[in-house]
Structure 1
Amino acid sequence: MGTGDFTHPKWFDELRENLVPAEPGLFRLREEADREIGATLPGRLASAPVRFMLSVEISTVYPQDGRARKIHHLVYLPDLAAAEEFNRRLGRVADLGSDGRPTVGMSSRDLLETTLACGEGAYLVPAHVWTPWFGVFGSKSGFDTLEECYGDLTGHIFALETGLSSDPAMNWRVSGLDRYRLVSYSDAHSPPIVGRETTVFETALDYFAIQDALRTGDGLTGTVEFFPEEGKYHVDGHRKCGVRMEPEETRRHGGRCPVCGKKLTVGVLSRVDDLADRPAGVRPGGAAGFRNLVPLPEVVGEILGVGPKTKKVRTEIDRLTAALGPELAILEELPVETIAVHSPRLGEAVDRLRRGQVTKDPGYDGEYGAIRLFGPSEPKDPAPAPSPTLF
């Protein structure tokens, strides 16, 4: 798990106080901290040994070639000394004490140079690369190639983060991306979001082994993804007017909202179309696979007819994970019949999800899409079914 913003002085102090080295480049909580927060972790993490990597997401805002560029990056470092050096260098050009994601007025290329200067093991991954406003290929402030963004240091980039609104199959349409490993991560804005998207490795529990898997692909087995239609910027649109368009419709309307005439926010699907040199469905040789899932709180929320963040859903999730185990195991591994013993409707939902039998309502212009497993006429569960007594 990434630590989050190690650049913030107060959070960096927390990390120094509460983390201790574990395997090479990885950290664990001090024993006393383990006891204090163990009960607060989501069910899918509480029973697992957790290791932490020093990580931060950084926004670079700068002019280049007559346009404002706003690009997000993920930076990883193997030890606290390297992180302290990174913070020292970044503190020359940014106020690291501001709350929220650190924003720096330097180019993406210079941020990469700063990262590499912090020593062996330091690396940078472009974040949510297709997002309109802050992705390296985004329609609003991005580029058409990585070379335009990172210049002479592009060779030090070896992985790209897909973001919620794209999945590997969409990225495979651009042959220029074949040499990069595709990863998927979740912002840890709140504990239930941890693991919403994730990257799967079969390596030693070792920072440098993970880095090597990202460089070579050996040991990177794939990703667990949103359905990209659920992301906030999958298709084009104008939220204020309630207008949502597929790429061909956008082209027919000249990229403008047919209601008010303003420019549409061009989403990920259109941007991939613009840069693609392959048809959909092509998979490059050696590319790691992926699985599209719907987070368990959303599935349970649909079953109960309430929002995924409600107390009713949290209570049911706690009941299910106590009986069945971690969320990803429920969604991917457990026999449907076993799930159905504890919740017949969840068993049916997971069966449909595994078969890809879902209804997709794409997101646009900052509005999340929706993935539904049941039709509007199918009944909702009035209350969670009780678990059977086990002896």
Structure 2
Amino acid sequence: MQFVTDLHLHSKYSRAVSQDMVLPIMAKYARQKGLDILTASDWTHPLWFKEIQAQLEEKNDGIYVLKSEIRNPKSEMVRQAHHLNHPERSRRTNPKAQNTNDQKETLFILSTEISSIYTQNGKLRRIHNLVFAPNFEIAEKISKELVRRGCNLNADGRPIIGLSSKALLEFILSIDERTLLVPCHVWTPHFGMYGSASGFDSLDESFEELSKYVYGIETGLSSDPEMNWQIKELRNRTILSFSDAHSPAKMGREATIMELAEPTYESIRGAIMEKSQEKKGENRIVYSVEFYPEEGKYHFSGHRNCGISFGPDEIKEKGTVCPVCHKRLTDGVLNRLLQLADKTLSHVTETKTNQSGLKWYTDRSKHHPPYVKLVPLLEIIAESMHSTVASQKVKNMFQTITTQCGSELDVLLKTPIEEIAKAADSRIAEGVSKVRTGDIVIEPGFDGEYGKVKIWQEGKDPEKNTDNTAQMSLDI
């Protein structure tokens, strides 16, 4: 059975995170977005750990659900009954919505991001890693050991510790061999394992003899699987994509779809480890949903304050010094990737189009599962309505579409375009179609500035996609 997973999120106890990032609201948005399994996140924070312990109960091995009194508190039910615009009420009273993912129970797993700042090989390192725990008992043991080693867990839901990535991996495995460590957003300049500013050139350099226990990496918003396919040491490791969301609306902007024999911690662990196993199991990664990497904050090199953005070709021509302030540019993900890539792996990708007009990116060497690149539905609606994602009319239209056509992922991946047009209008439907085929333009992000998506090029004939495509059928 397939499960859509988003296993890198943050709670209200992390810095610069919405106060709406609490479990009941996260679960509600998950149903609307088509997400099956979320992380409870940030479990090293003492106050948040108490909250999630009080709100969750174990359903399967290492898989949790909201307690019934949290899912449907009486006060909330009364509020829904009297609030005409409440999303849950509109779904209960709309017969078309009864077959959507909205009736699904949201599942939770225990994973959390930890920031390690330390010196290794004479260089300051700042590395973020996702740590997975099989249950509350093991999560609590990890937190207690971090405190014993002098780590302050009260300051931030994403704690900053002085342990190296290797030391962190070593001690969590000593607590329980079922734990996992996954380096997250590995290419970001300042906090990624491969990052240009404070990262490493390889997993072996970072984790040394323990690198064999690193079974996968997370792409981050500024890279996609195709870029990571060019790194030789990742050929037999799993490439994961999650949203790193700081607000409910951002959940699911990247997600990993897993085939699991049953929804348990061990099944998810098995899917993440599957690439490194000689014998292929029944738990595996099927595909991933990706942000366009150009839309990420660090895709190109540049200086945000100086308005300077350089792609790899401009770097070759003009160098890495800012022409305005004459300081070194923040190295972009794409340029850093080209420094580490195996040139023999630069042409492993082919594109195929399915019956819904959706472009799939596949690894012709069959080492990795395929993926799709999407633009969030709110962004499509906002551009079609000449508005912003925060405007009420855009939010209302998002609500209308997901109520009538299914979850956000259903709409973006497979809902017939004519059905979207009926629920919304032809321009929004056209926008979804253009995103599926990749008929969009993106001004790449750089130095912490998100890239800018342009679906419609007003006053110009859009440049059609020139990729060679073949029809394919995928079970999604």
CA–CA distance in structure 1, aligned partners of residues 409 and 87 of structure 2: 15
**What residue number does 2:47 align with?**
10
CA contact 1:41–1:191 (8 Å) conserved in 2: no
CA–CA distance in structure 1, aligned partners of residues 314 and 58 of structure 2: 54
1:188 aligns with 2:245: yes
CA–CA distance in structure 1, aligned partners of residues 175 and 255 of structure 2: 26
CA contact 1:54–1:79 (8 Å) conserved in 2: yes
Please point out which of 262, 266, 282 is paired with 2:331.
266
**What residue number does 1:202 align with?**
259
Say which is worse superposed, 367-376 or 26-35, in terms of deviation: 367-376
CA–CA distance in structure 2, aligned partners of residues 275 and 45 of structure 1: 41
1:344 aligns with 2:426: yes
Q: How far 1:285 sits from its partner (Å)?
A: 2.6
Q: Structure 1's 274 and 52: CA in aligned 2 closer, same or farther, altered over 3 A?
A: same
Q: How far 1:46 sits from its partner (Å)?
A: 4.5
SS in 1 for 2:124: strand
Amino acid at match of 1:8: H
**What residue number does 1:355 align with?**
437
SS in 2 for 1:113: helix
| Cα deviation digits, residues 149-194 of structure 1 (max 9, x gap) | 1112111100100000000001111222101100001123111111
Q: How far 1:27 sits from its partner (Å)?
A: 0.4
1:255 aligns with 2:336: no
SS in 1 for 2:51: helix
CA contact 2:43–2:157 (8 Å) conserved in 1: no
**What residue number does 1:54 align with?**
110
CA–CA distance in structure 2, aligned partners of residues 273 and 180 of structure 1: 19
SS in 2 for 1:291: strand
**What residue number does 1:212 align with?**
270
| Cα deviation digits, residues 88-115 of structure 1 (max 9, x gap) | 0111221111134110011110111122
Flag as ranges the 4+ runs of structure 1 deviating above 6 A. Answer: 37-45
SS in 2 for 1:233: coil
CA–CA distance in structure 2, aligned partners of residues 377 and 11 of structure 1: 51
Q: How far 1:286 sits from its partner (Å)?
A: 2.7
1:175 aligns with 2:241: no
CA contact 2:219–2:241 (8 Å) conserved in 1: yes
Please point out which of 185, 200, 222 is paired with 1:165.
222
Task: Trace 1:1-391 onto structure 2 (pairs within 5 A).
Answer: 1-36=38-73, 46-92=102-148, 93-203=150-260, 204-217=262-275, 218-278=283-343, 280-282=346-348, 283=363, 284-342=365-423, 343-377=425-459
CA–CA distance in structure 2, aligned partners of residues 10 and 300 of structure 1: 37
Q: How far 1:45 sits from its partner (Å)?
A: 6.7
Say which is worse superposed, 69-78 or 271-280, in terms of deviation: 271-280
Amino acid at match of 1:71: I
Q: Structure 1's 194 and 253: CA in aligned 2 closer, same or farther, altered over 3 A?
A: same
Instruction: Please report the RMSD computed on the Cα atoms of aligned residues, expressed in angstroms.
Output: 1.8
CA–CA distance in structure 1, aligned partners of residues 317 and 373 of structure 2: 31
Aligned residues: 378
TM-score (structure 2 length as normaliser): 0.76
Say which is worse superposed, 74-83 or 337-346, in terms of deviation: 337-346
Q: How far 1:281 sits from its partner (Å)?
A: 3.0
SS in 2 for 1:240: coil
CA–CA distance in structure 2, aligned partners of residues 97 and 333 of structure 1: 43
**What residue number does 1:381 align with?**
none
CA contact 1:4–1:188 (8 Å) conserved in 2: no
**What residue number does 2:464 align with?**
none
Amino acid at match of 2:128: H
CA–CA distance in structure 2, aligned partners of residues 374 and 268 of structure 1: 26
| Cα deviation digits, residues 43-79 of structure 1 (max 9, x gap) | 9974321110011100000011221100000011111
CA contact 2:87–2:399 (8 Å) conserved in 1: no
Q: How far 1:370 sits from its partner (Å)?
A: 1.7
CA contact 2:384–2:428 (8 Å) conserved in 1: yes
CA–CA distance in structure 2, aligned partners of residues 271 and 41 of structure 1: 43
Q: How far 1:41 sits from its partner (Å)?
A: 8.7
Amino acid at match of 2:341: A
CA contact 1:235–1:244 (8 Å) conserved in 2: yes
CA–CA distance in structure 2, aligned partners of residues 245 and 263 of structure 1: 12
Say which is worse superposed, 28-37 or 155-164, in terms of deviation: 28-37
CA contact 2:236–2:367 (8 Å) conserved in 1: no
Residue identity over aligned pairs, in percent, reads 40
CA–CA distance in structure 2, aligned partners of residues 100 and 81 of structure 1: 18
Q: How far 1:280 sits from its partner (Å)?
A: 3.2
CA–CA distance in structure 2, aligned partners of residues 179 and 216 of structure 1: 9
* More contact order relative to length (CA 8 Å, sep ≥ 6): 2
